Every structure is written in C-alpha cells, then in structure tokens.
Structure 1
Amino acid sequence: MIRRTCYLSARHLHHHHHHCSLLFSTTSPEPPKFHSLKPIKMEGANEITREAKENVNQTKRKIFVAGATGRTGKSIVEQLLAKGFEVKAAVRDLAKARATFSKHGPSLQMVVADVTEGSDKLVQAIGDDSEAVICATGFRPGFNVFAPWKVENLGTVNLVEACRKLGVQRFILISSILVNGAAMGQMLNPAYLYLNIFGLILVAKHKAENHIRKSGINYTIIRPAALKNEPPSGNLVVEPEDTLYDGTISRDLVAEVAVEALDLPEASYKVVEILSRADAPKRTYEDLFGSIKQK
C-alpha cells in the first residue's frame, strides 16, 4: 500500500449531621441490632464489608494536567471532570485559569506550576495524591528562541523526573506527528522546516519522547495530526509511529483519546499517531490501541 504524502499547514500543527442523642435509662438497654453485611474477600487483603467496598469505590481518582489552560488541555480537564475524576490543573496564570474554569466545582484544584522551573517544584505541585500525569503543554510564539526547547523538551523531562521521584506510574504526552521527520525523509517538508526554525520544536518534542520511553514509567505518547478547534467529525484513525504525513483532528477528540488511554492496558508503553476521517470505520478504543504493537 502506498501512502500519499502531503504537507501540513504549519499553523495547524500546533474534572445531616447525625446528632447522636445518648439516651440514659435506669432499665437495662436492649442489645444493639446490627445489619448483616456479607463480607467480600479481596485478593491480598483482609475481608471488608460490601458497604466498605462501596465507600472505597466512591473515592475519586486525581489526575494532574500540565498545560491545563491551553485549548487541548482545557478539553482534557473538562472531559476528566465529566468522567468523575478529580483534576489538579497546573497553570501559570491563576487569574486566567479561574476565568477559564469559572463554572467548575470542588473536583477541580488549580495549582501554580511552571514546567520549566525544575522537577523539585513540580514534585510539590503534583503531590502524593495524583495518580497520573497528562502533559498537554505548548510554547507560545515570541522573541525568545530558547522558549520552545525549554517547554517542549526540558519542561516535559522535568515532569517525567517529578513523576519518578513521587512514584507516579502513568504518564500521557500530547506530542505531534512529524517529530521524527528527519528519519522519515521529511526534512524538506514545509511544516517540518517552519516549526523547527522557531526553536526546533519538533526536535525538542522527539527528544522528550525518548526520555519518557527510557524512564520506566507506563507511558502513552499521542501524536495528533493537524489540530482543529471545531467539534469532532468523522471517526478516529490510530496508526503506528512515523507513518502519518497529513490529515486533521479536533482538539476535543485528541483530549478524548488521552482520557480513554488512562485505563486501557492496550495503550500502555505505546506511541500512536491519530487523525479523524469520514470514511474510516468506527472502532472501539481497545481495538484501536490493540492494533498498535509496542516497540
């Protein structure tokens, strides 16, 4: 099968008080009555009652999201909250974050954190209550030519190292197709050239990916095609790394892929490239991720 190569437009790549009345009486009280609760055995643990198990299941899981106020990051936060997760959103501008997430309740916690300021500060921000980290950071164009490298490479590395220090064992990165463009023979692709002129963005992303892969952490690296702000259209296509050259995908669908990947064993230790296409068949996430082999 011959894959058609197209050039991406550069502008596209880029969660009653019980008043206990003690009644004293001179008569002997009746013995208290207890409800019979059938115990459930849990592997490797003591027996607990069904009631206790239900209480455990009601505990919300907390996910740390870096780049939470970005367009893709915001969608990730909203979808995590909709699925019942608690979210710790890492933001640089607290006022902007409060305006962005003004309608969300106590399940959303905002923390001021900058991924470029080192892993020790990120350890404090992530804390020991975060189960996983989703990285959706991105640099903002400006006059500092080193900013892209600091965010896309060093910032992601800092997040990974913070996870290692804390023992966080799930990391999801939103990256980009064409990050390995040089090895793919795409060095003359206008999008590849344009983005790398501004601080070697794609090279920086690829270096960060390699660090994640060597970290020992259970990772999923998601490389979307050209990003659209419009709602999703068409069905999701998932391909192996270093295969996609064209196509588009909604940011909301990218966010959905990241959230779905959290608990999918089929998504562990994999790099996937994604787009949406009207003529693609609708498939389950288990099937889509399961079709990609680990490397």
Structure 2
Amino acid sequence: MATPLMVRSSPFWCRHCYTYQYPLNYKPFSSISYSPIKTKSFSLLNSAKMEGGTGITQEVKENLGEDLRVKKKIFVAGATGSTGKRIVEQLLAKGFAVKAGVRDLEKAKTSFSHDNPALQIVKADVTEGSVKLAEVIGDDSEAVICATGFRPGWDLFAPWKVDNFGTVNLVDACRKLGVNRFILVSSILVNGAAMGQLLNPAYIFLNVFGLTLVAKLQAEQYIRKSGINYTIIRPGGLRNEPPTGNLVMEPEDTLYEGSISRDKVAEVAVEALNLPEASYKVVEIVSRPDAPNRSYVDLFGSIKQR
C-alpha cells in the first residue's frame, strides 16, 4: 500500500495572485475557487521523495504552486489593440491564464508569442452578437476585460457597432455565462455635455467620427444597470510611450484634460481585477509629474460608488 501523501492543512498567502490558496486536503472543497490540478502535478507528487512521510520536496511544492497560479482565466476583448495587447502581456506576467479575443487571427500570430501555454487565442468579433461571444468566452473565464475600439473610416456607424452594441453584446454574453466581473476601458469626456464641455476641442474631435463618446456613454450606462460587478476606467489621452509621472484617479465626470501611457491604463485594468475597492466604480485616470505616489488600494478606495 502506498504511503499516504501529507501536505500542510492551513491556507497560505500567494504573493503572485494576491489571494489565499488552499492545500489539497483542506475542507470544504466547495470553498476552493480554482479548477482541479493538472494530471502532471499528480504524477510529480506520486514520484516525489517523501520527507519522513509528512511533506513533499521543495521542488514539488514549487511545481504545485506554478499549476495553482495559472488557473484564473481572463477573457480580453480587443486583445490585439494598442491597449488590449498590453493588458494581455501584464495579465500573463502576473500569472493569469488569458483567453485573447481577436477579430484577425493572422494579426494575432504576429502580436503574441506562441510558446506560452497560459495564452489561448480565439476569434471573437463583438459585433456578431452575444450568443457567439458566449461560446468563445466559455465557462472557464472568470472575468472579462473590454479594450475594444473602432477603426476610423467612412462607416459612421462603426462607433456604435463596436463601442456601443459590441460592449452590450459582451455584457449579455457574461450574463448568459454567469461571469460576474467586467472591466471596461472607456474614455474621459464621455459625459462631456453634462460637464459643460461641449466646446472642449477634445470632446468635439472625439465625437466627429459618429458620436463616439455618446456611444461609449450609453454602453457604460448599460453595464451599470446589468447587475454585473463592473469597473469602468476612463483614461485621458492615450500615449504609446512608457509611463511618466504618477497616477491620478478621480471620480466620474471630473477630468476634462490630461494624458496617460497605455501601459499604465493596462496596469490599472489588471489591478482592478483583485481589488474589492474597485468594484462597482467609474474612475477617470491621467498621469501628472507632481501627483503623489499612492497605492491602488488607496486610489480605488478614495472613489465613492454612485
């Protein structure tokens, strides 16, 4: 008879995913949010050298930890976009599994590495309806991050197809699947009319292409009424350069100017996943050189829910 495997029975803090993890013999199993451990882990455990019958080798513990970390799968819509790609990269760097939703699979092949087992690339067009989106998001995704954006062109309905109907389709797909975490990358000035910013050059410019900001605002309102746990992030002007200065986070309908690195926007979206302080909130963000350096808990915690 094989000697029974003994592992520690108390929860422990995982510094990679910022949550408590539970060992194999912890009860009840219903409290464990991760999917079953891969077969290769059991093979590794069974062949491990026992230490007095009460533990496993450090090498086995490290491999077990690797398998447990890469379990929480996040679906990213618009994954090959300038901001979406950065979100995917940061999620992978933090140990998440990612399902990257893209319209162009060929473009995705040149955008991402193919040797990362934590990355799955799937074809997903947000304009094709919630039923198809639900199929590609799947029941293995725990959250959705929407970083889509229309491509300027002659189609004046493009902003509504992508930034409005597309976002609504994603929300409806989440409701069908029971996915209860949704993060949207939107824009400052979406509610510029109510803020008295009708003559703001940025508001005028962003609405030239089919009332883009109006489309985004209506999508935001749909999310807020959906019952899903949301975080809506409204960045200022997006820069491709690395971050400079410190992050400024304000309540909705506050900021009407300023810019921010796409890398920092991606970081805010990823950090929001694990913070209760980010739930059911709309935040506006820019970077400023004179801003204090504050933690994300402090930043999100300072914004009140409406």
**Same fold? TM cut 0.5:** yes
- Cα 1:99–1:287, aligned 2, differ >3 Å: closer, same or farther? same
Spell out structure 1 runs of 4+ moving beyond 2 A. 31-51, 53-59
Matched, 1:180 2:191: yes
Quick one: which of 89, 101, 114 aligns to 2:100? 89
1:157 aligns with 2:127: no
CA-CA distance at 1:39 after TM superposition: 3.8
Shift in Å, 1:33: 3.4
Confirm or deny that 1:110 pairs with 2:113: no
Aligned residue number for residue 247 of structure 1: 258
- By how many angstroms is 1:194 displaced? 2.1
* 1:113-168 Cα distance to aligned partner (Å, 9 max, x none): 10001000000110011110000000001111111111010000000000000000
- AA aligned to 2:3 is K
Distance 1:82 1:141, change over 3 A: same
Is residue 5–residue 55 contact of structure 2 (8 Å, CA) maintained in 1?
Answer: no
* Secondary structure at the counterpart of residue 262 of structure 1: helix
Uncovered stretches (5+) of structure 1, i.e. residues with no partner: 1-30
- Residues 180-218 of structure 1 deviation map (CA, whole Å, 9 limit, x = unaligned): 011111111122122222111000000000000001000
Asked which structure has the greater RCO (Cα within 8 Å, sep 6+), the reply is: 1
Alpha-carbon distance change, 254 to 47 in structure 1, aligned in 2, over 3 angstroms: closer
Alignment match, 2:148? 137
Tell me if structure 2 keeps the 8 A contact 1:39–1:47: no
CA displacement at 1:244 relative to structure 2: 0.3
User: Residue 281 of structure 1 aligns to a residue in which SS?
Assistant: coil
- Give the match's secondary structure for 2:274: coil
Comparing 41-50 with 59-68, greater Cα deviation is found at 41-50
In structure 2, do the counterparts of structure 1 residues 212 and 46 end up closer, same or farther at CA, with 3 Å as the change threshold? closer
Give deviations 1:12-38, integer Å, cap 9, x for gaps: xxxxxxxxxxxxxxxxxxx54335445
Q: Among 91, 98, 102, which residue is 2:109 paired with?
A: 98
> In structure 2, how many angstroms separate the alpha carbons of the residues matched to 1:142 and 1:57?
45
TM-score normalized with structure 2 length: 0.81
Which residue pairs with 2:13 in the alignment? Answer: none
Superposition map of 1:24-39 within 5 A? 32-39=2-9
In 1, distance between residues paired with 2:140 and 2:30? 24
Say what the alpha-carbon RMSD is for the aligned residues.
2.3
With normalisation by structure 1, the TM-score equals 0.84
1:218 lines up with 2:218 in the alignment: no
Partner letter of residue 176 of structure 1? S
AA paired with 2:187?
A: S
Indicate the structure (1 or 2) with the bigger Cα radius of gyration. Answer: 1
What secondary structure is seen at the aligned counterpart in 2 of 1:131? strand
- Match of residue 19 from structure 2: none
Gap regions ≥5 residues in structure 2: 11-24, 33-53
SS at the partner of 1:90? Answer: strand
Alignment partner of 1:294 is 2:305 = yes
Task: Trace 1:228-239 onto structure 2 (pairs within 5 A).
Answer: 228-239=239-250
Q: Which residue identity is paired with 1:132?
A: A
Deviations 1:89-121 (A, max 9, x none): 111110111011135512111111100010000
Instruction: Indicate how the Cα distance of structure 1 residues 67 and 35 shifts in structure 2: closer, same or farther if over 3 A, else same.
Output: closer
* Paired residues, number: 265
* Distance change (3 Å), C-alpha of 1:43 and 1:203: farther
- For 2:289 and 2:277, locate their aligned partners in 1 and report how far apart those are by CA, in whole Å: 24
- State the secondary structure of the residue aligned to 2:196: coil
The residue type equivalent to 1:102 in the other structure is: S
Residues 185, 123 of structure 1: alpha-carbon distance in 2 compared, 3 angstrom cutoff: same
Q: Classify 1:32/1:227 alpha carbon distance in 2 versus 1 (closer, same or farther; 3 Å).
A: closer
CA–CA separation in structure 2 for the residues paired with 1:93 and 1:160:
22
The answer as to whether partners of 2:183 and 2:231 remain within 8 angstroms in 1 is yes
